[in-house]
Structure 1
Amino acid sequence: MLTALAAGCGVDANKAAGGTTTGAAGACDLQHVTKQIDDHKGIADWIYPGNPFDAKKAAGKTIFSIQENSTNPFTNTIVAGMQDVADKIGMNLVDYPNQGQRTQWIQGIQQAISQKVDVIVLSGGTIGPIYFREQAAAANRAGIPIVTVVDRDLTQDAEPNTAARVGQPYAEAARLDADWIIKQTKCSANVLVITTNELIAGDINSKAAQDEFDKYCGQGCKTRFVNVPLTQWSTKIGTTTQTEVASNPDLNYVFPLYDAMSQFVVPAIQLGGGIQRVKVATFNGTPAILRMIQTGDTVEMIVGENEIHLGYAAMDQAMRLMTGVDPIRDGDYGIPLRVFDDSNVDETGVPPEYGVGYGDQWRDGFLKAWGLPG
């Protein structure tokens, strides 16, 4: 259930560690936040971001996939999208099993080099060449390009020793969650934000959330950012949430930056006595957490993204590199974010399924760009 692996602190380290911050100089702007939510409730239009190319030229080539952790359902689904494309084109996809240890990632890179694969794809927020610079440089010397997927925000530069990337809208998603909370509380939000400091992108989404509260909720909002390392999710998220719920009678939202955290948050809200007053807003769109919207009232909203779409984007970059076509330089595939709540969550399936609820325009667009039948 460790979906996307985490962010950083708030405005400064002390506040991020547990300090409470009252909104800054901004004023309550319900018109702005309501428009942001309304604009993201439906299925977004999508346009392929580059020029078409003949993807069939990549047939017979091999892509070596390394996830940040092979047990992570988020990256598993990205790889499932990659496999779907590989099957359509006739490529070989090797997914290297690991338990999230950096030494294992290094061994994977070394194995990819020894097997003389055509492209290496790294999927996840915590895996990247910054943790194995020497091996990444060796892959580059061997003529094997590296593609990273969701390691950094779209506004950040790519990591060194990467040939292409698929960026992640971390900051945009965090702002949407903040917008929802501001809207629902009518600028009277009292929020526990749960973060994690292990993401290569750093604390960009924490800062984006705090900035949104400051700009559009102003003095009416109070936020407390608490960092929980990934290895402590199962032990610390629950106790942190329960303590805050029980000790803060004004608390009305818990905002875990990633929805897999919700499995620990929701029981803790109940144990803390806040089941009637404390709601959850979060990000990713994991089916099990979307199901919580369908079956209960505590998880109120999720900013969802289509992980299968991310897998197609990863393959698009890989095939471009393998066929001599320039990659999408900024890594921006316009991955749409969709706000799911009671009004539209059933569009993800009952029960929810990966890749459902985002329409077909994105898939049709890729296939057309690659010269494949729809």
Structure 2
Amino acid sequence: MQHPRRSLLVLAAAAAACVSALAADTGAPKLAQKSSYKVGFAQSENNNPWRIAETKSMQEVAAKCGWQLVVTDAGGSAAKQVADVDSMIAQKVDLIVLPPREEKPLIPAVMKAKKAGIPVILVDRNVDQKVAKAGRDYVTFIGSDFVDQGRRAAEWLVKASGGKATIIELEGTTGSSPANDRKKGFDAVIAKNAGMKIVASQSGDFARDKGRQIAQSLLQAHPGATAIYAHNDEMAIGAITALEAAGKKAGKDVLVVSIDGTKDALTAITQGKMGATVQSSPFFGPVTCKTAQRYAKGESIPPWVKVEDKFYDTSNAQANMADGY
């Protein structure tokens, strides 16, 4: 018969081993310190100025950061982006930098990379935090406060309209974190102002021509609209085209406010066609390099590396044209 004390010791050791295994599983994979790394950048699409600037930023920092960069383009498909991450895992990259097109569909890719021992840094867009968490399943999220962006756009519109506006909202890609949060921040402010009403809200998928088409349709359905809020500048520029085609003067008959800070948007502000845009910087290369270097050294990385965004209106658009892209 086994001695009771010995049995307790065996059980304690087994429990300790179990706790140790669980603890090991709670952290994102480590990144070894090396002079060079093979890094995968799984871009969601390269069909607009913002995405092109983001990809360029990653490519420009690669040599300085000691990265051999593998770049893919998902062409606007979450399924293709998942496949791109799978390919990077098969290539045994050291690190994956991922701007997830949508919050939920990219979680399996993040978890698969974790299982393969490859750390993932999310940039620009996040995944559903209720399912995958920074520090546990991936290193961190580097990006803007999308809720605050929407809030700032709404606060400008309330002031510019004198608290009275009939609003059309052009949403970004359905299911993406910027679309979800930019709507949340904007709508919350508008709801507090009795003279402000959102009469239509529909996705333009962050694309200029689709934004134009949706704006055209919604303007026909709501000819009394006095303001358009677009979740990004591309859709806002499309909406301005739709307004002009409808014989309306953007910036006068209908106020336009947006988010991103592209050169076309800054130009539209100087022309009086757009009222304001909240910057959402695409230049993630330097901050991602610095974050990866800190992580490799064993430093603690916060779950959210927040990017600070500027605000452009008629008072400063011309002076900051060089910030556009």
Matched, 1:131 2:100: no
1:184 CA drift (Å): 0.9
Residue 138 of structure 2: aligned partner: 162
For residues 58 and 243 of structure 1, the distance between their equivalents in structure 2, rounded to whole angstroms, comes to 54
For residues 197 and 167 of structure 2, the distance between their equivalents in structure 1, rounded to whole angstroms, comes to 6
- Give the letter aligned to residue 344 of structure 1: N
Q: Does the CA-based 8 Å contact 1:122-1:149 persist in structure 2?
A: yes
Matched, 1:176 2:152: yes
Q: Counterpart of 1:109 in 2: which secondary structure?
A: helix
Residue 115 of structure 2: aligned partner: 141
1:283 CA drift (Å): 0.3
Residue 27 of structure 1: aligned partner: none
For residues 187 and 254 of structure 1, the distance between their equivalents in structure 2, rounded to whole angstroms, comes to 14
Residue 18 of structure 2: aligned partner: none
Q: Could you say if the C-alpha distance between residues 182 and 315 of structure 1 is closer, same or farther in structure 2, counting changes exceeding 3 Å?
A: same
- Give the letter aligned to residue 347 of structure 1: A
Matched, 1:342 2:314: yes
Greater relative contact order structure (CA < 8 Å, 6+ sep): 1
1:135 CA drift (Å): 4.2
Matches within 5 A, 1:288-327: 288-294=264-270, 296-308=271-283, 310-327=284-301
Q: CA RMSD in A?
A: 3.0
Query: Share of identical aligned residues, percent?
Result: 20
1:239 CA drift (Å): 4.5
Matches within 5 A, 1:334-373: 335-349=307-321, 353-354=324-325
Q: Does the CA-based 8 Å contact 1:152-1:168 persist in structure 2?
A: no
Q: Could you say if the C-alpha distance between residues 198 and 250 of structure 1 is closer, same or farther in structure 2, counting changes exceeding 3 Å?
A: closer
Q: Does the CA-based 8 Å contact 1:243-1:272 persist in structure 2?
A: no
Matches within 5 A, 1:261-276: 261-275=235-249, 276=252
1:278 CA drift (Å): 1.0
- Give the letter aligned to residue 301 of structure 1: A
Matches within 5 A, 1:233-252: 234-235=209-210, 237-242=211-216, 244-245=218-219, 248=222, 250-252=224-226
Matches within 5 A, 1:106-117: 106-117=82-93
Q: Counterpart of 1:307 in 2: which secondary structure?
A: coil
Q: Counterpart of 1:222 in 2: which secondary structure?
A: strand
For residues 104 and 180 of structure 1, the distance between their equivalents in structure 2, rounded to whole angstroms, comes to 38
Q: Does the CA-based 8 Å contact 1:246-1:273 persist in structure 2?
A: no
Instruction: Give the number of equivalent residue pairs.
Output: 289
For residues 214 and 180 of structure 2, the distance between their equivalents in structure 1, rounded to whole angstroms, comes to 20
Q: Counterpart of 1:219 in 2: which secondary structure?
A: coil
Q: Does the CA-based 8 Å contact 2:37-2:68 persist in structure 1?
A: yes
Q: Deviations over 1:150-171 (max 9, x none)?
A: 2239x96683532321143111
Q: Could you say if the C-alpha distance between residues 204 and 353 of structure 1 is closer, same or farther in structure 2, counting changes exceeding 3 Å?
A: closer
Q: Gaps (5+ residues) in structure 2? A: 1-30
Q: Scaled by the length of structure 1, what TM-score is found?
A: 0.68
Q: Gaps (5+ residues) in structure 1? A: 1-54, 355-374
Q: Could you say if the C-alpha distance between residues 247 and 272 of structure 1 is closer, same or farther in structure 2, counting changes exceeding 3 Å?
A: farther
1:89 CA drift (Å): 2.9
Greater Cα offset, 64-73 or 179-188: 64-73
